[in-house]
Amino acid sequence: MHNYIRADYLRVIKRVHRLIQIGLYFLIVTGIVIYHFIKGGNSWNSIGLMEAINTGTALLSVFIGLITLMAVFAEDFKAKTMQVAIGRGISRPKVIASKLITAALISLTDILAFSILTGIFSIVTGAPLNAMQAATLAIKYLCIWLDCVGYMSIVLPILFLSQNMVGGLLLYLFFSSSAVYNILRLATIYGPEWFQKLHLENITLDSCLAILNTHLLLGRLNMGAVLGIVIYLALGYLLTVQVFRKQELDF
């Protein structure tokens, strides 16, 4: 299984289209930082850099997740390489786990690249980050990664059921844009009284990540939030296993 993951990771990480897409986003974030740097003038400092980075990475989880899903699954669905792996004796649950781990590693690699880019900005623009600011950004990038992996896990059942990218990508875009949280939040505010009392927005992945982020900033680990994230990952995987076991494949 580890050879399958390694081969898949090396194949995906070098894909030209993915590298171009990542490069374009790098340029966008660089442009935002340069704009804030010029706008800040003599008053430019680490606070301005933090603002620029937060602006530039506001949609990072959406972007990283979409291109990772495309890179990891699109070619497989066309070339039917998963069928080849199954034909060689890798079980369906292991195939699913391998693809999810590969997607997690690819997204982690890209997010680490953005964290390195942040450090470069700090040095080049003369705005060194203090320990608290560096920790804040590290926690932010961690939560972005968990956001990507969590929602990729959630859309896996649709991907493996349809063997088509469109539905999965649209569903990922819907979830990762915090649409579910915002809808439930509005329903809690304006819905019937019995529904308001449920506060269903508090059990969304977005809410778990927000709680985890806040508590980590305070130097604490909220096990409830961690458990919630793990449950989303596990449910996504287990549901995909059930779906894929019943899926008829053309070899």
- Where do the domains of the chain lie? 2-245
- In this prediction, what percent of the chain has a pLDDT beyond 70? 94
Do 206 and 129 meet the contact criterion of CB atoms below 8 Å apart?
Answer: no
DSSP codes, 88-117: TT--HHHHHHHHHHHHHHHHHHHHHHHHHH
- Angle at Cα 229 formed by Cα 225 and Cα 235, nearest 5°? 140
First to last CA, the chain: 20
Residue-wise pLDDT tens digits, 171-180: 999 999 999 9
How far is the CA of 129 from the CAs of 138, 143, 208, in angstroms? Answer: 12, 20, 27
Provide the whole-model pTM. Answer: 0.91
Residue range 191-231, pLDDT digits in tens? 888 888 888 999 999 999 999 999 999 999 999 999 999 99
Give residue 248's pLDDT: 61
Assign 236 a pLDDT band (cuts: 50, 70, 90): very high
